[in-house]
A and B are shown apart, each in its own frame.
Chain A
Amino acid sequence: MAFGKNGKPLREFHMLKLSRTLLYLIYFLSKTPRLATVLLYLLRPLYVPVRETFLNKKFRYGLLTFGAGLLSPDVLKAYGYGARAIIDNINEVIRNAREGRPIVWVEWILNPEMLDAFDVTSFNSAILNVFGNAYGAEGPYSLIEEAEKFGVPVEYCSAMKLDMGAYITGQIPRPALTIAGSHPCDTNVSITQSFEYLLGVPSFIFDVPYWKDGYSYEYFEKQVWEQIDFLEKNLGRKIDWDRLRDMLERLNKFNYYLSEICEMQRATPCPGTHFNLLFAWVVRELNVRSPHAIKMTEALYRAVKKRYDRGKGVVKKEKIRVLLWFPPIAFFTYLFKWMEHEFGAVVVADFIGNVSTVQIDTSSKESMIRDFAVTQMHLAMGRQCHGPAEFITDEMVSYIDGYSVDCMIFTGHQGCKHGWAAAKIIQDTCKKKNLPALYLSIDIMDQRHLDEQGVRNQITEFFRSHGWVE
């Protein structure tokens, strides 16, 4: 495959390994969080004010993502745990690929908890959607281009084109089995079939119901039972119910801490940077099975709670409370800290980081599967996008009302056709609530459409035009 140094193909798993290097860097920095914070802050001139250059491209994205010295040390420490959880997954996956042991792909809106009960390695093929940027800005779009050259439809959501690009260029491993679903959108419905065709491995597909009512939950629950049969048959081993119980109890805690953080974000001033929730979501997607995942959420919870109890905000002077609606911009994860630092604008709620779930009753097999099914159907993007427009707007309105929001930034992602088809409904909902809104036309994975600077310009202009900043 084409891209790489001097047009040579990339080595196998090169981008995955690069992601791991970045995560190791964060992990080690988080060991001495105070020192690291000072260091990251002092080095800011090398990577913050300037665009990506030949010299800084391998570390700029990573250091910006992890706050560029603007995170408090306790939060940086928490991120270290999250980084460790992902590193462990990458290591295991690379080892398995080398040794020919099975890897199960689990789609990004279906968490890998069930795989824990089978003690088998899970892998989220969307990992490079975020960490592909560690390669530099061209990392993600080069993978997208490779997929398009391969014939994948141009109109697909770039998130999934990127997965395909990563697979065909050998940046992610080949699975033994796949677990996928019919949500959230047509691209997923379609590309799942392409992967199934190309991979030729057994695949279990969840038919995710359109509605969220008793009848639909029950249908999904029955499918979880079928998933167990599928895994037992294809892995040649029985489910370990004790392991599942243990996993789901950890998941309950994980979700508890995040739900609490979401609640605290309602306070004025807002006690935490919303990127905490986004990063937690990434960790959940990639390796919620790791004990480090729960350490991360617990540490994040403590860090936010400390500020909340003292009535302190994440910024000294909170000026604007922002609702970020629709998928976050993967190539500009620094957006949160940038808005906080530059304008005192704090994202208090968003589409992906906010948690909506149930506590799983682990008292019996039946109760576990029943509640687990509900948690799966409530994962971000799946819960809003797969269903009527009210699933998007009702949640949006609940944040507008419940988080004292001043404005909304809508990240209108190119490939998201159902999103565009609901854009007027979203706009009219904002109008009705008298909420100023900025509608970005963007590709969240591919900054050739609107790049980081373009996003900064539009947001700055938006804040200025409302008289919130000079």
Chain B
Amino acid sequence: MGGMKVFEKIRNLAEKDFNEYLDAEKQKGRKIIGYFCSYVPEEILHAAGFVPYRMRAVGSGSTARGDVYFASLNCTFVRHCFSKALEGDFAFLEGVVFMNGCDHTRRMYDNWRHARLAPSYLHMFTAPHLINPLALDHFEGELQKFKKSLEDHFGLIITPESLIESMQVYNRKRALLAEISSIRKDPAVPIKGSEFLALMLAVTAQPVEEAVTLLEEVREACRGRRTAREGDLRIFLSAGCVEEISHLELIEECGGAVVADNLCMGSRHYDALTDASQPPLRALAERYLTHLSCPRMMNDFRRRLKYMADVREGYAVDAVIAEKLKFCDLWGGEIFLYRQESKKRDFPLLTLERELYGGGTGQIRTRLQAFFEQIRNRRTIAGDPVRSDSSNEVRH
């Protein structure tokens, strides 16, 4: 497939919640299971013969229906997703796996049951808030429970062999994603941040086998490609449930090139491979517990910080943009810590607070332009660090 074509195809897939690949699998009788959060082990679903589908708010027109169950103090990602669920947009799913990722998402499991929404398989998967040997043992038990609940509900057996096969194919997918992401180290930035987000949306709504093929095509299409423009600033983007391609395009329009990230739909999804030499559930527990964490993990901030520092260096990052959706305590706290670090280590940081699909583009554009301008000026005026402060907040 030609370079442009593959990116069009990705864009097309990313903009829909249901696509031809899923449809084809359904026709074949394969079940599609939705899951929230990058801590849910897709391999177990895959080994059970299902297509794991990353839940998303893509295509949601409003939060109105979800607002009957959630309050205005709840995150818009959750309100959009739940609205879609009430609209029947997820009718193609045969199961949903929830996660205790944050206070908003965990209540989705409660409201879903309360609203008596289909499908019949609803599972609350929980992950520890710590990374240590005891938590790892506990988490392995959680994986075991998850596996058993699938087996009991659907009347099947998930064999160690099928788990190993799934681990291999998911490792392949992750390795390809990591490889494609890392080519953004190249000053030519062969794939834009917005395209990479679209790619993430596409490959988390496809059977993994198809995703691997698509990723191989993308890798080819990136060879010799250049998206960078003169004067673009290289950006590290850190945030939670960001899924709007248009938002990344806005950053790009303003002169930023997102070359690395710590997003749910980004590096957290593909960071770290499973170790095939270990017993499958142990290997999965280890990979999922220790992959690049999000702020729900309480004893891992230093590692997240180190990741950011390494990426800033390795990817020649000019500035960091950290975002949170309104009322998200977890990312709010992370940004508070980023600010402390930005002051200490003197790196440019812009913090944005927004609502998912919430508009306010004009205001964000102004903030981005002003921030980028500051960085460019900083390059010419020595000793004038661009630091964040609370005035760097976009509220709308």
Given known contacts A219-B138, A389-B110, A421-B71, A185 and B332 CB-to-CB distance under 8 angstroms: no
Which residues of the other chain, A, contact B130 by a CB distance below 8 angstroms? 182, 205, 207
Which residues of the other chain, A, contact B232 by a CB distance below 8 angstroms? none
B: contact size bracket: 35 or more
**Using an 8 Å CB-CB cutoff, how does the interface string of A247-290 with B read, 1 for contact, 0 for none?**
00000000000000000000000000000000000000000000
Is A357 interfacial (CB-CB < 8 Å)?
Answer: no
Distance (Å) between the CB of B260 and the closest chain A CB? 22
A149, A185, A193, A420: the one contacting B333 at CB < 8 Å is: A193
**Using an 8 Å CB-CB cutoff, how does the interface string of A380-399 with B read, 1 for contact, 0 for none?**
00000000111000000000
Is A30 interfacial (CB-CB < 8 Å)?
Answer: no
- Is B330 a contact of A414 with CB atoms below 8 Å? no
Is B194 interfacial (CB-CB < 8 Å)?
Answer: no
Which residues of the other chain, A, contact B75 by a CB distance below 8 angstroms? 417
Is A209 interfacial (CB-CB < 8 Å)?
Answer: yes
With CB as the reference atom, state the residue of chain B lying closest to A216. Answer: B138
- Is A189 a contact of B74 with CB atoms below 8 Å? no
Q: Give CA–CA (A312, B284) in the complex, Å.
A: 61
- Is B111 a contact of A424 with CB atoms below 8 Å? yes
Determine the main DSSP class of B at the interface with A.
helix
Is A92 interfacial (CB-CB < 8 Å)?
Answer: no
- Is A422 a contact of B335 with CB atoms below 8 Å? no
B69, B109, B390: the one contacting A388 at CB < 8 Å is: B109
- Is B73 a contact of A420 with CB atoms below 8 Å? yes
- Is B134 a contact of A155 with CB atoms below 8 Å? no
Which residues of the other chain, B, contact A153 by a CB distance below 8 angstroms? 329, 332-333, 335-336
Q: Give CA–CA (A193, B75) in the complex, Å.
A: 21
- Is A422 a contact of B107 with CB atoms below 8 Å? yes
Which residues of the other chain, A, contact B106 by a CB distance below 8 angstroms? 210, 418
Is A437 interfacial (CB-CB < 8 Å)?
Answer: no
Q: Give CA–CA (A113, B329) in the complex, Å.
A: 30
Given known contacts A223-B134, A422-B107, A193 and B337 CB-to-CB distance under 8 angstroms: yes
Is B124 interfacial (CB-CB < 8 Å)?
Answer: yes
Which residues of the other chain, B, contact A190 by a CB distance below 8 angstroms? 295, 329-330, 332-334
- Is B71 a contact of A156 with CB atoms below 8 Å? no
Is B299 interfacial (CB-CB < 8 Å)?
Answer: yes
Distance (Å) between the CB of A421 and the closest chain B CB? 3
Q: Give CA–CA (A417, B105) in the complex, Å.
A: 11
Distance (Å) between the CB of A233 and the closest chain B CB? 15
Which residues of the other chain, A, contact B337 by a CB distance below 8 angstroms? 193-194, 197
A157, A192, A215: the one contacting B298 at CB < 8 Å is: A192
**Using an 8 Å CB-CB cutoff, how does the interface string of B123-138 with A read, 1 for contact, 0 for none?**
0101011100011001
- Is B138 a contact of A209 with CB atoms below 8 Å? yes
Which residues of the other chain, B, contact A209 by a CB distance below 8 angstroms? 126, 138
Determine the main DSSP class of A at the interface with B.
helix
Q: Which of A198-232 contact B (CB under 8 A)?
A: 198, 205, 207-211, 215, 219, 222-223, 226
With CB as the reference atom, state the residue of chain B lying closest to A429. Answer: B114
- Is B73 a contact of A417 with CB atoms below 8 Å? yes
Q: Give CA–CA (A420, B111) in the complex, Å.
A: 12
Q: Give CA–CA (A198, B114) in the complex, Å.
A: 41
Is A425 interfacial (CB-CB < 8 Å)?
Answer: yes
Q: Give CA–CA (A197, B328) in the complex, Å.
A: 20
- Is A186 a contact of B138 with CB atoms below 8 Å? no
Is B296 interfacial (CB-CB < 8 Å)?
Answer: yes
Is B327 interfacial (CB-CB < 8 Å)?
Answer: yes
A149, A210, A421: the one contacting B111 at CB < 8 Å is: A421
Distance (Å) between the CB of A151 and the closest chain B CB? 5
- Is A156 a contact of B295 with CB atoms below 8 Å? no
Given known contacts A155-B327, A190-B330, A389-B114, A424 and B74 CB-to-CB distance under 8 angstroms: no
- Is B103 a contact of A421 with CB atoms below 8 Å? yes
Which residues of the other chain, A, contact B128 by a CB distance below 8 angstroms? 207
Q: Give CA–CA (A425, B110) in the complex, Å.
A: 8
Residue of B70, B75, B138 with most partner-chain A CB within 10 A: B138
Sample of 6 A–B contacts (CB below 8 Å): A153-B335, A186-B103, A186-B330, A190-B333, A417-B329, A421-B107
Q: Which 5 A-B pairs have the closest CB atoms?
A: A153-B332, A190-B333, A421-B107, A418-B103, A420-B71
Chain B interface (Cβ < 8 Å from any Cβ of A): 68-71, 73-75, 78, 100, 102-104, 106-107, 109-111, 114, 124, 126, 128-130, 134-135, 138, 141, 145, 295-296, 298-299, 301, 326-330, 332-337, 339-340, 390
Chain A interface (Cβ < 8 Å from any Cβ of B): 149, 151-157, 182, 185-187, 189-194, 196-198, 205, 207-211, 215, 219, 222-223, 226, 388-390, 414, 417-418, 420-425, 428
